[in-house]
Amino acid sequence: MTSKLLNVSLHVDENMAFGVSRDDNIPKPGDGELLIKTRFSGANPAEIKHATHLGIYPTRLGYDFFGKVLKAPPGSASKVGQTVAGYTPTSVGRPAGYGTYQSYLVRPENMVYSVPKNLPSDYTAYLTVVTITTADTLYKFYKFPLPSDLT
């Protein structure tokens, strides 16, 4: 007996109603993309606010994650079975497979990093968006010089 893969996801639909989907629509990776089994997703206020304040819907929710690579393109630096974390861009019309609040997601390889064994996996799922937000604040809002500009 074989079991069918089930993709459980959180989404906001075209009527801006938030909900849960359970289906067999496993995202298919495109060129340069990885298929990842999600273990943890970061929780950010943006998941709701981007729909309600910026009009980014319908979409599958979530921006950062921790998981395991299930498929990698030929010649990829990422390997099947490797643990990775990363983030996803936000935009109107973002591919459904990019949402991180789902069992399986796809991600461009250049938007993931290999997770060191000594970094707790549940914490890792939060690092990317928090780091990007901090960098935006320091370097764009406060106009701090980039570290590369200090040498």
H-type alpha helices, the chain: 46-52, 121-135
Other C-beta atoms lying within 10 Å of the C-beta of residue 57: 18
> pLDDT tens digit string along 78-118?
999 999 999 988 888 899 999 999 999 999 999 999 998 89
The token duo for 32 is: 């340069």
Q: Which residues have CB under 8 Å from 114's CB, separation 6+?
A: 78, 82, 83, 84
**To which residue do tokens 């990885």 refer?**
34
Average pLDDT of span 4-13: 94
User: CA 18, 23, 26: angle at the middle one, nearest 5?
Assistant: 105
% of the chain beyond a pLDDT of 90: 70
Q: What's the pLDDT at 1?
A: 53
Question: Domains along the chain?
Answer: 7-150 (3.90.180.10)
Q: Which residues of 43-54 are buried (b: 16+ CB within 10 A; e: fewer)?
A: ebebbeebbeee
> pLDDT tens digit string along 22-48?
999 999 999 999 999 999 998 888 889
Q: What is the pTM of this model?
A: 0.87
| Cis status of the peptide bond prior to 58, with omega within 30 of 0 | yes
Highest mean pLDDT among 59-63, 88-92, 132-136: 59-63
